Homo-oligomer: A and B are copies of this chain.
Amino acid sequence: MPLTIEVCLTPKLINQHVLQGKIAIVVDIFRASSCIITALSENSAAIYPVRTVDECLKLGSQGMLTAGERGGIKIEGFDLGNSPFDYLGKVSGKEIAISTTNGTIALDKSKSADQVIIGSFLNITATLEYLIDQNLPVVIHCAGWRGVPNIEDTLYAGALGHQLNDHGYLAINDTAKMAIDLYHQNMNSLLQTALKSDHAKRLRKFGINKDLDFCLQVNKYQNLNGKLKGSKIVKI
């Protein structure tokens, strides 16, 4: 039997997937998962995803950097926002507590998987190689936006699904097949397609086009993955 690929477009639907015995790839392209991979490439010691601002502040008082956004905007008093540029040159050796609108929820709801890996365009080939090495079925869990599917996460799911397909994995739910179709149609215009998303439009109002460009860079980082170990994400 070939290994299987499932795609889930929002945490609201993840309870319809069995995660045990599988690897979950959690995706929040704009911008949590892109920030996490950037922080790891900058040698952050670990990233603690938490759901609330209070939890973040509590970890901050214990010496961690605090990071996060609500509605796309940096939380007042936090050290870092949700722009990958915030993490460049600032996080080496540091632990970070991060709370985001969508990504943290998806991570939390993925914990019954055998492994939880962070998905981003920035290191998609490294993730592909890791998955092939692990030889387990895959569930790509898109964070979406406040419970609804979004284009950019679906596009990533299609991109990873497409590459797994090429390595003999089989897309077994309709959502996976549709995500792969979406990627096929737009593989030569990833950024333009992602910029059509509601979320990108919201973010552009804050003047952060450069963040969107950054997050759509394919394989900026090599040989780097982020993996949830207990309550923290570490580089593997």
Residues of A within 8 A of B (CB): 9-10, 12-13, 16, 145-151, 154, 172-175, 177-178, 181-182, 184-186, 196-199
Given A13-B10, A184-B185, CB of A177 within 8 Å of CB of B151: yes
Contact B174 A185 (CB under 8 A): no
Copies of this chain, count = 2
Interface residues of chain A: helix, strand, loop or mixed (majority): helix
Distance A141 CA – B144 CA, assembled complex (angstroms): 18
With a cutoff of 8 Å between Cβ atoms, the chain B residues found around residue A10 in the complex are: 13
Contact A154 B178 (CB under 8 A): yes
Contact B175 A149 (CB under 8 A): yes
Distance A182 CA – B158 CA, assembled complex (angstroms): 12
Contact B12 A12 (CB under 8 A): yes
Given A9-B9, A10-B13, A13-B12, CB of A197 within 8 Å of CB of B181: no
With a cutoff of 8 Å between Cβ atoms, the chain B residues found around residue A177 in the complex are: 151, 196-197
Contact A174 B186 (CB under 8 A): no
Min CB distance, A94 to chain B, in Å? 34
Min CB distance, A63 to chain B, in Å? 39
Q: List 24 A-B contacts (CB under 8 A).
A: A9-B9, A9-B149, A10-B13, A12-B13, A13-B147, A16-B146, A16-B148, A148-B174, A148-B175, A149-B174, A149-B178, A151-B174, A151-B177, A151-B178, A154-B174, A173-B198, A174-B198, A174-B199, A178-B182, A181-B185, A181-B186, A182-B182, A184-B185, A185-B185
